[in-house]
Structure 1
């Protein structure tokens, strides 16, 4: 390690130049990384709805409707004109309206009111539009030009077209607020005006390199793209703080600049790598998920933390040596007072906090497991802060909710298709079925039907039914009602029936993620325990630390349950891994210092000194994570990202509180057990002749 640190110090200018050049190249490469905004693309390949979608893309040229357009109109003729204009848009494959369901040339009053109300009511017309996947952006922009801002459009095509622009703006806004606020925290908690700029420089370079190297994956998910930089900044900053604090300590002991940095790198590498490895483990556990957003974020964020570690252990020492004179010139008095009085106060509260923790931990665990979850994409962009959200609300208020399903069955038996069609129409919440037998005729053979109608509904091997339901995922019993339609199809065609759509996709997503949850959490906790056992050489401390952090996770995830809020399962699952991997560092720092102090001091005094010496570091790290998460939650209009931000921000605060107030209580109660189960613990005894002065100077 001496040779490694010495090499960095000797070639410091070369190291800085190499990292700057690499960050510039990666910044340019990051523009080539694709971003996928369709959650359903991340379902496992073997999921039933994935199989159905793949089969449909092979069998049919035309996809299912993916956009609803509502325009204000005073007449049927004007509505028909809008339909014609929409149909001429490049990328639009089909536009369906009232004239496809009834004879509009007869008096409007003679048409069944229930049919009319699906397409034409309250001075508006509603169109069901099918847009090609590769033409979504151009088509959606063209449709908006036709209908204007006063009319509305919604659907997956709209989300896929507009989300990239919205998310990109929001990421820029978030970073615009996050960076100054984090700098403000660092200015308060460090003793130099220049040090925080070094911290931001080293982590900023790591972020740019990570974003550029994402090109190896071709494309990443919108969750990873939007949250990645914020999370990397939030969870990596304490590594650089720890290294420069060590550097300052060795300089204050009289070492010259180069020698102090070599010692700082040598002495802090083990602790930094241990903390970083637990964070990497939390993200790496996501790689095991079947739901592909897990591996997507797992690989990218594990790589991000590794780049942060490299930047802190290689770039930061080189940059600090190059600029140490600026660090010295910008020294200022500490703005944060000493925590001696606070440490005494916290120590007095350890028993009440421990009792409260014991009372809340089990109910919080149960509540966190029984949240009302959202699995699909139905509410990702439902915020009234966006045009998409307002449009969705306007259409649903006028025409109600809509979830089209696509059902494909082996073709060749028109009589059986007719029976199944009629049975599905009787199912709960089914409003209409578009199929060959009720659109063309159950008595006209396909060879005599119009070719245009045939190609939409019949392929070489399948007959397609478009089933419209007036429910969405968040409605009570939505999945059961979809299962009822699935069951009817199975009664007639067995395993030969295939079904896809937002609701079946969300149901498959639920089944996949619930399985992933136990696996990811189990693996993450298991690996963290192994790392802690290796780090502390103890059989008891790893379980104590994991209990405290897992308890903070359960408390955090119980909040939505007690508030009666719906929780997106993707945000829930990612939070569990991120909070464990990132905030376990607080416990590691606290316990490391406690073990050092406990060898020199009685139990109570060792705890007090530990609280006093670690609170600033823990509060700094937690504050950065809280601010970054809260801003992501406040600014993002994407429901997944917003919830993820709030959960991570709140989780950091809860973890900090438990580490400062509850962990000391558990360490106090388990003091004897810890000594017996920790290798070479050698805790202080009254007859030991250790000098306490060393502990206070530490």
Structure 2
């Protein structure tokens, strides 16, 4: 394989460039999904409810509210007509749909029922309910903003989705503008050629472009994947390129370029493959989530790591051989100082570090398991015009958070009893159904078909409950639970949807996913470590080091009394484990090599002195990627994920260089007895820990 690459380096170079160009074109054909609801399992009851309504009911459930300020009734009707004409708007409802247009125009407002009119028209302000087609939110919202101007307001799920789409357009670009120069500086400091960092970035960049382009075969990706995947792929796989090129430079001292590269490829393959394998295992755990975001991101990251591995092992050798003369001409001195004194200091303080880790591990574990989570998109709305508009509408007309309950039709008496009980549930402000709006005593055949279709389909009765709850939180979820419990007393089959019901389902799914994903990731990496080191105890120490860092990272939310996005919590557990366990593997592997010729203390001191730079560079790149996401993203979900990644990487680095050495040295005898073919150097005089 290595001979083929070196002999046909120009062909390899051309093939990868061609694939990258084709993939760049394909990238523009990949659609991005901004609706988190689409990633709920198909058997979630809110998902089933939405499917039933789409199949059986005419008229969409409104997903936005538009408030027109200081308008007369005729002006509001004109606006309604104009909004309905916007492509992507499926329906607009207002006061005329409730009272009838003729009655609204012919009757003075003061003679109309204020309990009805105040929900739609108050103090000269009109509130319209608008349904916007999924996937067209951004274009529709732009048209609505153009129509109503800056003074009027729009809020709701569709408005939130539009804000998310607008933010995501420039997220990756903004992050890369800061990230790439920072990584180049880090790489220049850690290499001996001005051109090498560009070769690293070009190699991984090719893999990133191919990865993004191959998403065309999946049709669409989530906005989380679009924003996070390229940056994570770049950050976790740069190490592969660094190791290969460093090996090449070592062999260049005694071999011709082609032969040096062949030897470098053979030497790098086991290490790079092992590193990629642990990362792939960590990312693969995301695919075990029932919530589809995990599978979407997991597949993309696994595909990205594999493509980065192939790019490093096939494309980088060809690129290097084409440009090695340029590398020679751009050599510079080594800017990295000796880390011997730092290694010595870490060795002296290793027991203190271990004691501190043991003190914080249990509180951190308990704290991270008690952290509160956010499941909705309120944080996104708050950081944009949508947040301001939502506050204006809520201040004038109050909070609106409807739930839609579907029950089998055909028993008006039972439906009446249900509606009476539903109306007594705390935070339910009104219940709208056929029996409450028309009357159970009126036969459906005497009701206009347009009105009847709002409440009855072929199989189901639709009941709309208006609540004054926020979208999520204990109060909102208690209301959802009460509605379902009440429905269960009257019907064997029922389905509930609406934003709070959807987030309630999301919460249930995620709580199960959390345990499964973490267990799969830990077991998978434990097995890889077991095979890699052929030891029963080494995997325990390595997993302990990284898991402790993860627990400390996630406990910040509890100790600062703040909520975390559930996406950040789910993803960071597997990403931090899969991406940073490589630091522990490198340090342990080097220690075992040195331990064959040195006593345990000397072996660890040499390991830290020689390898601290490599671990530090890798950690700096990944942490920089995380903190850059946190600083540049206007999407709070992405920003929070970035901060978790940056902080988690720093904590993993500290655990690996401060705590893991103590574990390996203190339990040296245990490791020796539980590791196959250890060949440890025996020195009976070395009894210190």
**Alignment of structure 1 residues 429-448 onto 2, 5 Å:** 429-448=427-446
**Structure 2: any 5+ residue segments left out of the alignment?**
none
Query: Does 2:307 correspond to 1:285?
Result: no
Counterpart residue number, 1:694: none
Query: Which aligned segments of 4 or more residues in structure 1 are displaced greater than 6 angstroms?
Result: none
CA contact (8 A) 2:138 2:166 kept: no
Structure 2 residue corresponding to 1:394, chosen from 372, 382, 392: 392
Q: Please report how far the alpha carbon of residue 135 of structure 1 lies from its aligned counterpart in structure 2 after TM superposition.
A: 4.7
Counterpart residue number, 1:487: 485
Q: Please report how far the alpha carbon of residue 110 of structure 1 lies from its aligned counterpart in structure 2 after TM superposition.
A: 6.0
CA contact (8 A) 2:526 2:543 kept: yes
**Alignment of structure 1 residues 130-529 onto 2, 5 Å:** 130-133=131-134, 135-252=136-253, 254-375=254-375, 377-384=376-383, 386-495=384-493, 497-529=494-526
CA contact (8 A) 1:379 1:639 kept: no
Counterpart residue number, 2:652: 655
CA contact (8 A) 1:73 1:79 kept: no
Deviations 1:234-267 (A, max 9, x none): 1111111111111122223x22222221111111
- For 2:490 and 2:667, the matched residues in 1 are separated by 64
Counterpart residue number, 2:58: 61
Deviations 1:609-641 (A, max 9, x none): 111111111111111111111121222222322
CA contact (8 A) 1:119 1:127 kept: yes
CA contact (8 A) 2:596 2:681 kept: yes
Find the residue that maps to 1:401 and give its secondary structure.
Answer: coil
**Structure 1: any 5+ residue segments left out of the alignment?**
689-698
Distance 1:93 1:7, change over 3 A: closer
- For 1:275 and 1:208, the matched residues in 2 are separated by 21
Find the residue that maps to 2:445 and give its secondary structure.
Answer: helix
Q: Please report how far the alpha carbon of residue 109 of structure 1 lies from its aligned counterpart in structure 2 after TM superposition.
A: 5.2
Counterpart residue number, 1:610: 607
Q: Please report how far the alpha carbon of residue 75 of structure 1 lies from its aligned counterpart in structure 2 after TM superposition.
A: 4.1
Deviations 1:328-372 (A, max 9, x none): 111111222111111112222212211110000111111111110
Distance 1:260 1:397, change over 3 A: farther
CA contact (8 A) 1:405 1:466 kept: yes
**Alignment of structure 1 residues 108-119 onto 2, 5 Å:** 108=109, 115-119=116-120
Distance 1:635 1:70, change over 3 A: farther
Find the residue that maps to 1:467 and give its secondary structure.
Answer: strand
Counterpart residue number, 1:577: 574
**Alignment of structure 1 residues 664-675 onto 2, 5 Å:** 664-675=661-672
Find the residue that maps to 1:433 and give its secondary structure.
Answer: strand
| The 10-residue stretch of structure 1 (652-661 or 464-473) with the greater mean CA deviation from structure 2 | 464-473
Q: Please report how far the alpha carbon of residue 93 of structure 1 lies from its aligned counterpart in structure 2 after TM superposition.
A: 3.2
- For 1:586 and 1:367, the matched residues in 2 are separated by 26
Q: Please report how far the alpha carbon of residue 80 of structure 1 lies from its aligned counterpart in structure 2 after TM superposition.
A: 3.9
Q: Please report how far the alpha carbon of residue 484 of structure 1 lies from its aligned counterpart in structure 2 after TM superposition.
A: 0.8
Q: Please report how far the alpha carbon of residue 225 of structure 1 lies from its aligned counterpart in structure 2 after TM superposition.
A: 1.3
- For 1:397 and 1:622, the matched residues in 2 are separated by 47
- For 2:309 and 2:634, the matched residues in 1 are separated by 32
- For 2:472 and 2:44, the matched residues in 1 are separated by 21
Find the residue that maps to 1:279 and give its secondary structure.
Answer: helix
Distance 1:319 1:501, change over 3 A: same
CA contact (8 A) 2:469 2:475 kept: no
- For 1:240 and 1:651, the matched residues in 2 are separated by 23
CA contact (8 A) 2:243 2:268 kept: yes
- For 1:186 and 1:648, the matched residues in 2 are separated by 20
**Alignment of structure 1 residues 74-113 onto 2, 5 Å:** 75-100=72-97, 108=109
- For 2:160 and 2:269, the matched residues in 1 are separated by 45
Find the residue that maps to 1:601 and give its secondary structure.
Answer: coil
Query: Does 2:546 correspond to 1:549?
Result: yes
- For 1:233 and 1:397, the matched residues in 2 are separated by 45
Structure 1 residue corresponding to 2:625, chosen from 609, 622, 628: 628
Distance 1:651 1:112, change over 3 A: farther
Q: Please report how far the alpha carbon of residue 171 of structure 1 lies from its aligned counterpart in structure 2 after TM superposition.
A: 1.7
CA contact (8 A) 1:421 1:433 kept: yes
Q: Please report how far the alpha carbon of residue 101 of structure 1 lies from its aligned counterpart in structure 2 after TM superposition.
A: 5.3
Distance 1:243 1:681, change over 3 A: same
Paired positions, count: 681
- For 2:386 and 2:334, the matched residues in 1 are separated by 48
Distance 1:280 1:371, change over 3 A: same
Q: Please report how far the alpha carbon of residue 663 of structure 1 lies from its aligned counterpart in structure 2 after TM superposition.
A: 0.7
CA RMSD in angstroms comes to 2.0
Deviations 1:203-232 (A, max 9, x none): 000001111111121111111111110110
Compute the TM-score of the two structures, normalised by the length of structure 2.
0.95
CA contact (8 A) 1:378 1:473 kept: no
| The 10-residue stretch of structure 1 (577-586 or 324-333) with the greater mean CA deviation from structure 2 | 324-333
Find the residue that maps to 2:175 and give its secondary structure.
Answer: helix
Distance 1:378 1:136, change over 3 A: closer
Counterpart residue number, 1:693: none
Compute the TM-score of the two structures, normalised by the length of structure 1.
0.93
Deviations 1:631-669 (A, max 9, x none): 212222223222211111111110011111111111111
- For 1:568 and 1:469, the matched residues in 2 are separated by 24
- For 1:401 and 1:671, the matched residues in 2 are separated by 63
